[in-house]
Chains A and B, each alone.
Chain A
Amino acid sequence: QSALTQPASVSGSPGQSITISCTGTSSDIGGYNYVSWYQQYPGKAPKLMIYDVSNRPSGVSNRFSGSKSGNTASLTISGLQAEDEADYYCSSYTSSTTAAFGGGTKLTVL
């Protein structure tokens, strides 16, 4: 069982927006503004999409945005495109000075 809770799957049509939630506790998400989101295609390495809750690394599309409220973080993808179909993982710094991951969410673009 993963430390952070994500929905197993979400789906949306091209052009739509979707949001993936990630729920933790006050010892991780709720206690720090250190939430990251990763995109992973099958057989490939994960790619950092969002860090420190809402910051985008250079080169990541501004269609990707992050937010946090209490113990729950969210990743929103707007203007959904076929290439966005992938697995998405949230991660948070924890009070144990380690990192916790969510179980992953499979995004299907219909």
Chain B
Amino acid sequence: QVQLVDSGGGLVKPGGSLRLSCAASGFTFGDYYMTWIRRAPGKGLEWVSYISSNGRTTYYADSVKGRFTISRDNAKNSLYLQMNSLRAEDTAVYYCARSRTGGRFDYWGQGTLVTVSS
């Protein structure tokens, strides 16, 4: 069955960096676009970034553009999110999700918590 396992979250100081990972199994990872979505405490879901199946095309929310980098390794069935220059407002649970046509997300990871605080 399809499984996505998020990892890499933790406590980091403002201005610091963190790299999130998402391990995929149960499907042909290289055939699908993948997305990172976050949910800040007390707030709704926010789309963060997505990457095409071959990794050549990426998009970012304005709130993270220039600070976050999405990447993937299809040989390792893994998705990544490199987060630099972190701010307090980046504090959230981050989910990886499999993307389908029309911007729907049919499978999600369990999420990994990122806390940015001094």
A interface residues (Cβ-Cβ under 8 A, vs B): 2, 32-34, 36, 38, 44-48, 51-52, 57, 89, 91-94, 96-104
Q: Is the CB of B47 within 8 A of A97?
A: no
Q: Known contacts being A32-B102, A48-B105, is A2 close to B44, with CB within 8 Å?
A: yes
CA distance A57 to B102 in the complex (A): 14
Q: Known contacts being A51-B100, A93-B103, is A99 close to B110, with CB within 8 Å?
A: no
Q: Is the CB of B46 within 8 A of A101?
A: yes
Instruction: Please name 7 pairs of A and B residues whose Cβ atoms are closer than 8 Å in the assembled complex, sorted by A.
Output: A32-B102, A36-B104, A51-B102, A91-B47, A97-B59, A98-B59, A101-B37
Q: How far is the CB of A24 from chain B (nearest CB, A)?
A: 12
Among B43, B47, B104, point to the contact of A98 (Cβ < 8 A).
B47
Query: Which residues of the other chain, B, contact A103 by a CB distance below 8 angstroms?
Result: 43-44
Closest to B95 in A: A45
B50 sits at the interface (CB 8 A): yes
Among A2, A34, A102, point to the contact of B104 (Cβ < 8 A).
A34
B61 sits at the interface (CB 8 A): yes
CA distance A89 to B105 in the complex (A): 12
Q: Known contacts being A36-B105, A46-B95, A98-B61, is A89 close to B45, with CB within 8 Å?
A: yes
B35 sits at the interface (CB 8 A): yes
Q: Known contacts being A34-B103, A36-B103, A99-B103, is A45 close to B44, with CB within 8 Å?
A: no
Contact with A along B101-115 (1 / 0, CB 8 A): 011111111110000
